[in-house]
Amino acid sequence: MAIEQAGKGSPSSAPHQPHLPQLAGLAGEAKSYAERLFDFPVVGALAESEARGALAIPAADQGVEIASGALGITIDRSGGYPYFPQEWGSHVWNLAPGPTVITQEDAEAAEPMVTGQLDSNFLRVRFDRLTPKEKEYVRAMAALGPGPHRSGDIAARLGVRVESVAPRRSG
């Protein structure tokens, strides 16, 4: 009944037909809300100075110095990926005898623990979610070494035509 009354008095509305004059406006607002709701900021690699600060500043706040060599190892091996310096920092911090300096040797000694942790808890979970074809694609990329890689190179490694690579990549 309220819908029918909303259309009364409008010269273009036929008698007893529902009229939704606000529908276009409401739909536009809903789209804007959805766009805001699903806004995904891009998180890129950390710059070297950001990664250094992420490790050195909290340590300094606790009265601990991280030697330049230790910082260099953790930053180099983390590749700028934002989570990896945290994992490195945690393991190095727990391993170092301290109490006031974390050395390059501490960082080197932590590497097997960090790699094992990342392999089992971070990367394995993501790898296990992939389809068999996506796993083939990832293995082919890994066999090519550090990237980025062109689709044609991955297709050649898989022994398939380049046109067939996109479906593998997307599952």
In a domain, 137, yes or no: yes
Same domain, 154 and 104: no
Mean pLDDT of 40-53: 84
pLDDT in tens, 65-117: 999 999 999 999 988 888 888 899 999 999 999 789 999 999 999 999 999 99
Regarding whether 68 and 116 lie in a shared domain, the answer is yes
Same domain membership, residue 78 and residue 148: no
Number of folded domains in the chain? Answer: 3
Task: Indicate the range of 2-11, 143-152, 160-169 predicted with least confidence.
Answer: 2-11
115/137 same-domain check:
no
One domain for residues 56 and 94: yes
Helix (H, G, I), strand (E, B), or coil: what is residue 84?
helix
What one-character-per-residue DSSP string does 134-151 give?
Answer: HHHHHHHHHHH-SS---H
Are 13 and 52 within one domain? no
43 within some domain: no
> Domain of 29?
2-37
Domain contains 136:
yes
pTM above 0.75, yes or no: no
First vs last C-alpha separation in the chain: 49
- Domain assignment of residue 42, yes or no: no
- Inside any domain, residue 86: yes
The CA-based dihedral angle spanning residues 110, 119, 58, 69, taken in that order and rounded to the nearest 10 degrees: 40
Same domain as 95, residue 56: yes
Residues 80 and 152 in one domain: no
Asked if the structure places residue 147 within a domain, the reply is yes
d(CA 129, CA 134): 9
8-28 tens-digit pLDDT? 444 444 444 454 455 555 555
Are residue 154 and residue 97 in the same domain, yes or no?
no
DSSP 170: T
Q: Is residue 106 part of a domain?
A: yes
120 and 136 belong to one structural domain: no
Identify the CATH number of the domain in which residue 56 sits: 1.10.8
121 lies in the same domain as 141:
no
Write the DSSP symbol of residue 100. S
- Predicted local distance difference test score (pLDDT) of residue 42: 72
Mark whether 63 and 107 lie in a shared domain: yes
The answer as to whether 59 is a domain residue is yes
